[in-house]
Amino acid sequence: MNDTASAPTHASRANIFQTEARWRLGADALMHEGGEPAEAPWWARALRIFLRVIWPWTGIKIEPGGAARFPYASITEVRLSFDPTRFDTRRYRCDVRSSDGAGTLWSTHFAGVGDFEERAATYTPFVRALVARVAAVNPNCTFRAGTRPLAYWAGQLFLLAMAILAIGVIAMVGGSALSEVTWGKIFVVLGLIPLAFNYARKNRPRRFAPDAIPDDMLP
């Protein structure tokens, strides 16, 4: 049987700055192709620089892409998490770390500005198969769910501080003193609260057994 033809595959484009990345589960390794930097319009590049200045610890990272091979036996960590954005609220990710490098798989595909395709039909079975293959040959690999503890709790404290600040401002100046623009921004923030709670619930840091992947870590 042709392993290349029968191997599970998944493809997606992370964002406007990358081309489509293609992943395949080979006989003894996770294979990667594509995902090189893409020609983005000037306004997208300017926005990325602005975001890096405002939030230097985050921002959009541009990966080098290209061909890569991650032997299952050398993979040291597989981390699954829920990673939504304001425009891509259903996105999940799978981060793979090994002695040969690292890579990230996405459950959604960038199709255009504000337009993301759901690719759970290939992402979910691909991740399940990846976890099973790694566990079969590497019992020392760590399988984690959610974000890293420091990032998780820092994010929760930041959101709590912003909520307290907003309540304090309204209490001091009174609701009638706020402009329509300010109220509009407050309503936008309030509209994101359900997503923030969902993010916090799903992304609590924890480990999982390879044969018991948490349901909330897959689309």
What's the pLDDT tens digit per position in 92-116? 999 999 988 999 999 999 999 889 9
Condensed to tens digits (0 to 9), the pLDDT of residues 168-203 reads: 655 565 555 555 555 555 555 555 556 566 667 778
* 103 CB neighbour count, 10 Å cutoff: 20
Which residue in 12, 24, 11, 134 sits closest to 79, CA to CA?
A: 134
Q: Which residues does residue 104 pair with via DSSP β-bridges, in sequence order?
A: 95
Task: Note down pLDDT in tens along the chain; length 219 residues.
Answer: 445 556 899 999 999 999 999 999 999 999 999 999 999 888 888 888 877 776 655 667 888 889 999 999 999 999 999 988 878 889 999 999 998 899 999 999 999 988 999 999 999 999 999 999 999 999 999 999 988 767 766 666 666 666 666 556 555 655 555 555 555 555 555 555 565 666 677 788 899 999 999 999 999
Q: What is the token pair recorded at 139?
A: 């019992």
Q: Which of 8, 4, 7, 6 lies closest to 122 in space, CA to CA?
A: 8
> Strand, helix or coil at 19?
coil
pTM of the model: 0.78
Containing 191, the helix (H) or strand (E) segment is helix 180-202
- For the chain, which residues make up each domain, given as ranges? 3-147+203-217, 149-200
